[in-house]
Structure 1
């Protein structure tokens, strides 16, 4: 989005600005919104309904033609959260006007559910917002299992959520994980290309089977341990429990993963899986981003015990 990238100094939280230059002169407002700013039809309909699309501070027709120097401004109103604030520690890895990226601790559910109505990451984020006198609707871009630690992205407005979700679908977000698995792998590097699904809708476990969804995981051994290995994994697809299912499928379940056959004594009380690195393009600025979350202490202790 050339207009947004070239006008970063004009960008403020909750607003998108597109400055019309000679290249875009003569285009209709709707062409700027859809083709240049890449807004979804759903978001545009909502903005139109709330009268939050302005040109030079005024509401104009969608078919109006733009002139050089016009300023198109999209205002994204704050939306409230219905979650109860709770003083739960969070580890902020990166934050700006559009994004909050956290290193989630293991054992924390991401979003309130019937079984976990409070004590979740969402409750912690609402408390964090209140301490900073901020307000934005919590929009999780990615999710992690309760017992998986690591990076979680939260979009602070619908535009950022829309654009990052597109990047996810187009495989433009690189997600790298670190895991400690059972046994010595036969090869240092490999790819697991095996469909994953849930044959029994009443069962939460997934498995590799012919009727599943295409699923691809790349792995590389980082360190060989005593009857175990530290592996780095790159997800090409993002199926539920993908890494856990794939590693179990090739005979190297994640240590501590009771659901998929990785329970080992009392060395660790959860699956040894950590979302370590995220690489993506920042939707507002177009700048390539890389964020990294430090390996949690329980996994470091596990590696030390098995070395």
Structure 2
């Protein structure tokens, strides 16, 4: 069955020649457009169309997706929790202590391996494409695209901040001020290759936070990102003086959290088929919920 990506022409692009819209706005190459034309893979309002036709506000453009022939990783049986799925993407609830994708010496047991197996069992051949990353110990929402065009569009949403990631974190201390923004560049660590650090010549990194609740010596925060640097939230909170509970690399080890208390609680994006904004939430895992209950009991580290 052929798969298409659907676009709705917005006001600011009305009047463009279709070929220009495909090249400049949707970033299709000339060679790709030629191939799609031969395949009758460009439909405007449900019909094949000449590339020199001008598009109008509200026009529906459907473009044929290239068919994948491999998963990109070795399919491996394992449990995954799909929070949302449509023809273009999935949102999965990643458990803590699991890599998103094979890396280094780790080739199996990752979320990507398990997703490939799940797709294989449903006779869906789609290269596994994570749109963003979560650290091994971080739990919660992560998006996978089912085809290259969907990946491109979602990555554009990420750059334009219409794709928004919301995190919860338990941190040491009572955060003051209760609401704020951390704007501190992040670069390579001077001596430790696996770490990052605040560095004046680093890449811009911006994190927004607000306090959900204060406990005796701990705060529960909600965080959103303008940028997505490696270990950004962990580094920024440690830099602010409120390290994440259980984060042995940048934070503070804990008797009641055996991993960093960081959870990707929700993700908001524009649904590809109609640009409707939707939000998907991932429930708190048991260890994080137990950590909050520990704090509520007015116990300290």
* TM interval, short-chain normalised: 0.7 to 0.9
List gaps (5 residues or longer) in structure 2.
Answer: 297-301
In structure 1, the residue matched to 2:134 is 144
Given the superposition, is the C-alpha separation of residues 49 and 233 from structure 1 closer, same or farther in structure 2, using an over 3 Å criterion? same
Give a deviation string over 1:59-110, Cα, whole Å, max 9, x none.
9875x54799x99653213212132221211111100111100110001101
In structure 2, the residue matched to 1:46 is 32
In structure 2, the residue matched to 1:154 is 144
Correspondent of 2:274 among 275, 285, 293: 285
Give a deviation string over 1:181-229, Cα, whole Å, max 9, x none.
1111122211111111114386121111211111111111111123111
Q: Structure 1 residue 49: deviation in Å? A: 4.2
Q: In structure 2, what is the Cα distance between the partners aligned to 1:293 and 1:67?
A: 39
Q: In structure 1, what is the Cα distance between the partners aligned to 2:93 and 2:271?
A: 18
Give a deviation string over 1:214-250, Cα, whole Å, max 9, x none.
1111111111123111111111211111100000001
Q: In structure 2, what is the Cα distance between the partners aligned to 1:230 and 1:27?
A: 48
In structure 1, the residue matched to 2:202 is 212
Give the conservation status (yes or no) of the 8 Å contact 1:180–1:230. yes
- Pair 1:173-2:160 in alignment: no
Could you say what secondary structure the match of 1:258 adopts? Answer: coil
Give the conservation status (yes or no) of the 8 Å contact 1:55–1:71. no
In structure 2, the residue matched to 1:273 is 262
| TM, length-normalised to structure 2 | 0.85
Could you say what secondary structure the match of 1:180 adopts? Answer: strand
Q: In structure 2, what is the Cα distance between the partners aligned to 1:172 and 1:194?
A: 22
Cα RMSD, aligned residues only: 3.0
In structure 1, the residue matched to 2:184 is 194
- Pair 1:296-2:285 in alignment: yes
In structure 1, the residue matched to 2:240 is 250
Give the conservation status (yes or no) of the 8 Å contact 2:7–2:272. no
Correspondent of 1:110 among 97, 100, 112: 100
Could you say what secondary structure the match of 2:249 adopts? Answer: helix
Correspondent of 2:23 among 34, 38, 42: 34
| TM, length-normalised to structure 1 | 0.83
